């Protein structure tokens, strides 16, 4: 049995769902479509230095998927004991962080991602963007870099949700927008909290270790299967789609 078969069988056992072909792919942005996590981390560190935050070197990779406001509140609480960070202050600080991100120049598309999206389109699988980001510079680029891939009504961003990842709300909203069920959908994620959100939404959740996190971290957060790179996942995707079309328990 391949690792794809083993992981899908395990997913069916834990969820209780009957096997279903894939109709919808819920796709994270940072670290999946764009190699942007290192720039985000540097931007958070620059803001953190200005705010007097202490942080571990890879700490901001752990928070990937949370909204900017949630990260700011978490750090101000921990570092300065504050419970009184207003929405206005969050907006001001997040605008600084976004500017520090943009100042580093354009981020690269993740290698393998265009091939993954082409496979999804060829198989008429609906693509839904599900990101905790509100980074306008990246959201604006999507149409240029991946034309015809993410239709405007099929996007969930930081502006749409009350609760960011690891809450399942962003993925549940993505399912709702696509009129799809968890049993027919897959989540494609790179970050621990994003994987957790996908898992909690009930979808088969694919983790890609495109950042510094070990495979075990994504597995512990609920990934059903993990690939080391987007290229590896793009290689496996046609087989995953075929497997799901004809799977028998
Ligand atoms: Ca991500």
* Percentage of residues of the chain with pLDDT beyond 90: 87
Average pLDDT over residues 227-240: 97
Q: How far apart are CA 221 and CA 64, in angstroms?
A: 13
Q: What is the Å distance from ligand 1's center to 190 Cα?
A: 5
Q: What is the Å distance from ligand 1's center to 167 Cα?
A: 14
- β-bridge mates for residue 73, sequence order: none
**What pLDDT, on the 0 to 100 scale, is given for residue 89?**
97
pLDDT tens, 200-225? Answer: 999 999 999 998 889 999 999 999 99
pLDDT tens, 135-190? Answer: 777 778 898 999 889 988 999 998 888 898 999 999 999 999 999 999 999 999 99
Q: What is the Å distance from ligand 1's center to 66 Cα?
A: 10
Q: What is the Å distance from ligand 1's center to 130 Cα?
A: 9
**Residue 15: partners with Cβ closer than 8 Å, 6 or more residues away:** 182, 183, 202
Q: What is the Å distance from ligand 1's center to 165 Cα?
A: 10
**What pLDDT, on the 0 to 100 scale, is given for residue 119?**
97
Q: Band of the pLDDT at 76, cuts 50, 70, 90?
A: very high
Selection from 27, 33, 12, 8 nearest residue 111 by Cα: 33
C-beta atoms surrounding 189 within 10 Å: 33
- Inform me whether the pLDDT recorded for 249 exceeds 90: no
**What pLDDT, on the 0 to 100 scale, is given for residue 248?**
86
**What pLDDT, on the 0 to 100 scale, is given for residue 38?**
94
Centroid of chain to Cα 27: 6
* Percentage of residues of the chain with pLDDT beyond 70: 100
Q: Band of the pLDDT at 117, cuts 50, 70, 90?
A: very high
**What pLDDT, on the 0 to 100 scale, is given for residue 65?**
84
Q: What is the mean pLDDT of the chain?
A: 95
Q: What is the Å distance from ligand 1's center to 248 Cα?
A: 32
Q: What is the Å distance from ligand 1's center to 249 Cα?
A: 32
CB-proximal residues (5 Å) to ion ligand 1:
28, 30-31, 190-191
Q: Band of the pLDDT at 191, cuts 50, 70, 90?
A: very high
**Residue 120: partners with Cβ closer than 8 Å, 6 or more residues away:** 25, 127, 237
């Amino acid at each position: 049995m391949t690792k794809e078969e083993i992981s899908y069988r395990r997913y069916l056992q834990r969820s209780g769902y009957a096997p279903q072909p894939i109709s919808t792919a819920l796709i994270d942005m940072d670290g999946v479509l764009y190699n942007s996590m290192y720039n985000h981390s540097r931007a958070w560190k620059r803001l953190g230095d200005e705010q007097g935050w202490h942080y571990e070197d890879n700490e901001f990779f752990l928070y990937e998927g949370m909204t900017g406001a949630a990260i700011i509140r978490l750090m101000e609480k921990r570092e300065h004991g504050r419970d009184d960070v207003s929405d206005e202050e969050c907006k001001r600080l997040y605008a600084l962080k976004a500017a520090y991100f943009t100042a580093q120049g354009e981020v690269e598309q993740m290698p393998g991602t265009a091939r993954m999206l082409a496979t999804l389109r060829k198989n008429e699988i609906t693509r839904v963007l599900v990101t905790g980001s509100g980074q306008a510079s990246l959201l604006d680029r999507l149409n240029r870099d991946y034309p015809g891939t993410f239709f405007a009504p099929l996007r969930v961003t930081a502006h749409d949700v009350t609760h960011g990842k690891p809450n399942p709300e962003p993925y549940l909203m993505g399912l709702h927008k696509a009129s799809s069920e968890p049993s027919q959908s897959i989540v494609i994620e790179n970050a621990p909290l994003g994987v957790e959100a996908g898992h909690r939404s009930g979808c088969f959740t694919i983790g890609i270790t495109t950042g510094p996190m070990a495979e075990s971290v994504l597995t512990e957060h609920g990934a059903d299967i993990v690939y080391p790179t987007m290229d590896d996942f793009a290689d496996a995707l046609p087989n995953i789609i075929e497997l799901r079309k004809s799977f028998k328990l």
